[in-house]
Every structure is written in structure tokens, then in C-alpha cells.
Structure 1
Amino acid sequence: MLENPRSPRVRAVAKLSKRSARVETGLFLLEGPQAVREALRYLPEAIEELYATPTTWERYADIRDFAASVDLEVEFVTEDVLAAMADTVTPQGLIAVARQTPTAVKDIFAASPRLIAICEEVRDPGNLGTIIRAADASGADAVVLTGRTVDPYNPKVVRSTTGSLFHLPISVGGDLDDVITRAHAAGLQVVAADVKGDDLLAARAEGALARPTAWLFGNEARGLEPEALELADRALRLPIFGRAESLNLATAASVCLYESAFAQRADA
């Protein structure tokens, strides 16, 4: 059992909360039973190390079974060691170290996707994690992140995906011009979510959302730059029926993705 919170091994795990360590090692941190469970179910080969307190390990029989099925051994640690490793203030007794497994942009579009989310300069970790989760829930084929978007392996992003990080392909660091070019070549229309765009309800009525679509989402504060908007085939806005000034980016992205998912399934 690991008992020293200041040991080099514990410090190495704790450093993964920093982007520099993730870039250097190609590893990232998973915290809590939900994230560890989903990684073990859907991408067990990516897990390098697994740590748990004995009490927590006894509590989750399904996680024990998943780990045993892939011959992954757990390293037991004290509560103090787990707290030193964790990024959260109140860790949940389980931590894993996993390899980053991004998908190449070319492979995403080679798979003939019908619905994807492109994130251009999304900076808030919670927003990005929620967009990935919404893309997963709506049946999207992939999420593509351009170079100025927050690192999807940031611990806050990982937690807010609640495991969806392991359910669909995610591309990292793409150039927006290249991504849009590939989307068009794959037969997708590129639709920008923008407050100055056309009414989404009108686009729904004309059947535009049933087409294979790449939704383009921009920065939380500034939205999409004019140059990015020019790359899109059209821009759409969500109507505001109440008194709210606007919608949170992740909420708006969730609605947009689901509108396309509904339209595509109705048209199938």
C-alpha cells in the first residue's frame, strides 16, 4: 500500500493536473468511480495505473470485475495519498492514470459522419465537457477541437464529460480551415451557432437540419470570429422566448445537436 503522500510516484500522478505534465507524458488523470468505470468498460487498454482506498475498492464490485477482466491490478493507497494525487477537494476514493487517445481528424471524416461538433476556442472546461457529453447523448459521431480550445484531458473537462470522453472519437488541435475543408469534402454542411444567425426554427421547417451536419461552436464570451463565420455554410441562432439575455454555450450546443439528431432520425 502506498502511504507516503510525498513520494515521487504520488507526485508524478498529482502533476497530471497540469497541462505541461500531460503534454510531456501523454497521460491524464481520471477521478471517481464513474470516470474509472467508463474507461474500464470502453477503453481499458488506455489505463496505465489504478489506485483506490481499500474501502472504496470493496464498495464497487462492478469496477473490480471490469478491472479483473482486463488483468488490471489495483494499487491500494491511504486517504492522504489519494488526496495528494487528486485534483478535486473531496476525492471519491478511486483514481486512474490513462493514456491520451485522440483520433486523427482525417479518420473522423473518413468514417462518413452525419453529425459532429466542432469547438473553436471554447475555453471553459465545464462547457467543453458538457458539449462532449451532449454530443455523446445525441448520437453525434465525433467532437473536433481546434487548436485554441481547452485541453479535453484537463481534469475539469474529464469530470464534466461523466465518462463520455470514452464513448466517441475526439480530435485535438486541428486547424479550423483544414477541419472545415474536410467536413465539406465528407459531404457535411457546416452550421455555425451564432446569435446573429437565422432562426433555427425556420431552418428546421425547411428541412435543413436533416442533412449531415457539422455544428460549429465558438468562444463563450466573443462567439465566433468573422473569419470563422465566413467558413460556415450558414449561421443559426436559437430563439429566446423569455427574458434571458442569452443561453450558456454548452446549453445552446446541446439544443443544436439534439435538433439535428431529431431531424436526422425523423428523416431516416
Structure 2
Amino acid sequence: MTPLTAGNTRVKEARKLHRRSVRSERRCFLADGPKAVEGALAVPGCVVEVFATPTAAAEHAELLGAMPLTLVDDRAMSGLSDSVNPAGLVAVCRFLRGELPPRPRLLSICADVRDPGNAGTVIRTSDAAGASAVVLAGDSVDPYNPKTVRATVGSLFHLPVVVERDPASAVRRAQEAGLTVLAADGGGEVDLFEADELLTRPTAWLFGNEAWGLPEELAALADHRVRIPILGAAESLNLATAAAVCLYASTRAMMAQ
């Protein structure tokens, strides 16, 4: 089979999925790289089509199994992939079902998180820490942004990622589900190192924007505000690091019960 070129209609149509408006209209997105494709293939009915260079198809034959492939040349793959150094595999995937599970134990709520890499890393970290779901609330980045998908390293396909336009509604829904909402706040009244009893409860962590944190009116809706102690001279922790510290503190406390 002769690989398709960048000018092929199927390649050009798939490439349009880099645009959010097209993703929303078609309810499809691109999963770039072996880990993302592996995660997508594990979700029944998720994958529409897999594009691969001949080299990548041979290298990942075991992963792809009997999945029908569309071979493309390197230039076509460069247009499909969002990576500087494409791995040679990109899947067209259907939108996933982003719904909260009925009895969540640990939840991440991201309010107005704009950076695709940060959002993807929070999703990946939430997955690693055993969270039940992630909520991207307010003006947060599209979870199907190619950079976000790539930053999750496949975790997008492991746990529900819910989109909620109203951050306050996301907080209320978590509380109605029986979760204690903890706002990660550098000025919080609770020290994370002294919060073990609090952390044993089913918890939703509320994280704010990378630059300005949580708006006062949103933080006020949380049940508690929790600060991560800064022991050195650093001004603060970045969002993804703070999320990792908070989520793993909860997981450790829950496992120690």
C-alpha cells in the first residue's frame, strides 16, 4: 500500500481536528503517539482510524494488532501530529463519556486552567493518584486539545474527564456527591502537613488558574482552604506540582486508614 501524502483528502480532513471548532462539530479528536493510541484502543468504539508511517507501523505492530491502518508518509504525519518529533502514530478518536462516577472517592476540579500542558499533567497525576475523575471547569482548556491529550500520556482514556462551564456548579455537585471540597490556597487556614484527619474523607481538590489562583468567591464555596507549606525561599509551587502534592497527600491518608 502506498502511503498517503499530506495533500490527500483524508489526511487534510483529519488535520482539521487541530481546531477546537471542528472537534466540537465532529465530536472527534486526535490522539498522538504510542501511549495515547494504546489508551484509545483500550476503550471500545473510541478509535475511528489510525494513521501510521510505515516505520511506526512495523515498530508498533504488537500494539496495533489487527487494527486496520492508514499508512501516511512523514510529511503527512508531521501535519497530523502536534509533536516536534512525531512518533509516527496518530489516531482519530470519538469524544469520551465525561461523567462523574456515582460514588467518587477522590476528585480534581480545575477552575480556569488555561495551559494545555498543565491540564494534561493534572489529568495524568490524578490518574496516578487513583482519583475517580477530573473536572475542567469554567474557561479551562479543551481536554481534547492535542497538547493536553499528549500531556496526559494516555491517562485521558483511563478516568472520566468532565467539562463544566460553571466552576461554582462543579463545587456544588462535588459536595452533593458527598465529597469534602478542599481549595488549594497558599493562604489557607489548614496546613496540609496537619490535615491527615481531614484528608481521610472523600475529597474533591479545587485548583485555580496558573497565574492568579482561585477567585475569592469560588474559594469561599470550598469546605476548607488548605495551604502547602513553603519551607524554602520559593514564592509558590506551580499548578501541576501543587496538584501532585495534594492528591498524593489524600491518597496516603486514605490508604493509612
What TM-score range do you get, normalising by the shorter chain? Answer: over 0.9
Find the aligned partners of 2:116 and 2:229 in 1 and give their Cα distance. 26
Structure 2 match to 1:192:
183
Structure 1 match to 2:210:
220
Aligned: 1:148 with 2:139:
yes
| Preserved CA contact (<8 Å) 1:133 1:161 | yes
1:161 deviation in Å? 0.4
Structure 1 match to 2:226:
236
Aligned pairs for 1:1-268 within 5 A: 1-41=2-42, 43-65=43-65, 68=66, 72-104=67-99, 108=100, 111-198=102-189, 199-204=191-196, 207-267=197-257
| Preserved CA contact (<8 Å) 1:144 1:174 | no
| Preserved CA contact (<8 Å) 1:38 1:166 | yes
Cα deviation code 1:14-53 (max 9, x no counterpart) = 1111212111211111111111112112x14111111111
| Preserved CA contact (<8 Å) 1:2 1:81 | no
Three-state SS of the structure 2 residue aligned to 1:220 is coil
Find the aligned partners of 2:69 and 2:5 in 1 and give their Cα distance. 17
| Preserved CA contact (<8 Å) 2:164 2:170 | no
Find the aligned partners of 1:212 and 1:123 in 2 and give their Cα distance. 27
1:131 deviation in Å? 0.5
**Greater helix share, structure number:** 1
1:11 deviation in Å? 1.4
1:194 deviation in Å? 0.7
Three-state SS of the structure 1 residue aligned to 2:184 is strand
| Preserved CA contact (<8 Å) 1:122 1:150 | yes
| Preserved CA contact (<8 Å) 1:54 1:76 | yes
Find the aligned partners of 2:98 and 2:137 in 1 and give their Cα distance. 13
Q: Give the TM-score of the pair, scaled to structure 2.
A: 0.95
1:142 deviation in Å? 0.5
Find the aligned partners of 2:64 and 2:233 in 1 and give their Cα distance. 49
Find the aligned partners of 2:175 and 2:84 in 1 and give their Cα distance. 44
Find the aligned partners of 1:86 and 1:162 in 2 and give their Cα distance. 14
Three-state SS of the structure 2 residue aligned to 1:84 is helix
Cα deviation code 1:35-89 (max 9, x no counterpart) = 1112112x14111111111111111132122xx2xxx311111112111222222
Q: Which runs of 5+ in 2 are unaligned?
A: none
Find the aligned partners of 1:210 and 1:58 in 2 and give their Cα distance. 48
1:224 deviation in Å? 0.4
Three-state SS of the structure 2 residue aligned to 1:241 is coil
One-letter code aligned to 2:195: A
| Preserved CA contact (<8 Å) 1:194 1:235 | yes
Find the aligned partners of 1:190 and 1:83 in 2 and give their Cα distance. 43
Identity percentage of aligned residues: 50
Cα–Cα, structure 1 residues 126 and 120, in superposed 2: closer, same or farther, change >3 Å? same
Q: Which runs of 5+ in 1 are unaligned?
A: none
1:148 deviation in Å? 1.1
Q: How many residues in Structure 1 have an aligned counterpart in Structure 2? A: 255
Q: Give the TM-score of the pair, scaled to structure 1.
A: 0.91
Greater Cα offset, 139-148 or 84-93? 84-93
Three-state SS of the structure 1 residue aligned to 2:36 is helix
One-letter code aligned to 1:172: V
